[in-house]
Amino acid sequence: MTPESPTRICLACYKDRLASVCENADRYKLFDIRDNDIYPAGLLSLPSKDPMDRTSAILACGVSYLLCGAIGADTRARLERAGVGVRPWLTGSVAQAVSAFRRGNLADLAMPGCRPRREDI
């Protein structure tokens, strides 16, 4: 039996919480979810604020899902076109976000005034 391939998620963070605006994030934290467990997979500090550079960084790391706060429609479209699932409008600490993703209840972390779309959850 082959082990299940991990799902890599990326959190757009400011310090130890999700950045309120994805484009403001100063670091990306990467986690692998394998066999229902969470494994840290790296940290990307982000000197460049250029949205295209950031998309490239996410793609280069093999990320499947980006978890973030508010995100511009154009940034989101660029990521989704590149095959990255975007789970936006989230707030909370890094631990809360990872745990909610694993348990499938990201809706609990919705930002005020933002009800996630069904496909976002």
Partner 1 sequence: MPFPRNLPLEDVFASIADGLFTVDADWNITYFNESAQRITGVSYAEAVGRKCWDVFRSSLCDGNCAVDHCLRRGVSITNKSIFIIKNDGSRLPVSISASALTNSDGEVVGGVETFRDLTEIQAMRRKVKDLYRFEDIVGHSPSLDRIFRILPQVSSSQATTLLLGESGTGKELFARAIHSLSPRRDKPFVPVNCGALPENLLESELFGYKAGAFTDARHDKPGRLEMAEGGTVFLDEIGDLPGPLQVKLLRFLQEKTFEPLGGVAPVRADVRVVAATNRDLEKRVADGRFRQDLFYRLNVVTFHLPPLRERREDIPLLVEHFVEQFNAIQGKQVQGVSEDVLLLLLRHDFPGNVRELENILEYAFILCSSGFIQQEHLPDSLQAGAEPAASAGGLHGTLEEIKRRAARHAVERNQGRRMAACRELGITKDTLRRLLDSKE
- Residues in contact with partner 1 by CB under 8 A are 14, 19-21, 23-26, 48-52, 69-74, 76, 88-89, 91, 111-114
- Shortest gap between Cβ of 88 and partner 1 (angstroms)? 8
Give the residue with the Cβ less far from partner 1, 7 or 93: 93
The closest alpha carbon to 8, from 48, 50, 66, belongs to 66
Query: Which residues neighbour 22 within 8 Å (Cβ) at sequence distance 6 or greater?
Result: 12, 66, 68, 69, 70, 71, 72, 75, 88
Give the residue with the Cβ less far from partner 1, 33 or 58: 58
Query: Which residues neighbour 68 within 8 Å (Cβ) at sequence distance 6 or greater?
Result: 11, 12, 18, 19, 22, 25, 86, 87, 88, 90
Give the residue with the Cβ less far from partner 1, 83 or 113: 113
Give the residue with the Cβ less far from partner 1, 4 or 80: 80
- Shortest gap between Cβ of 61 and partner 1 (angstroms)? 20
- Shortest gap between Cβ of 41 and partner 1 (angstroms)? 23
Write the DSSP symbol of residue 80: H
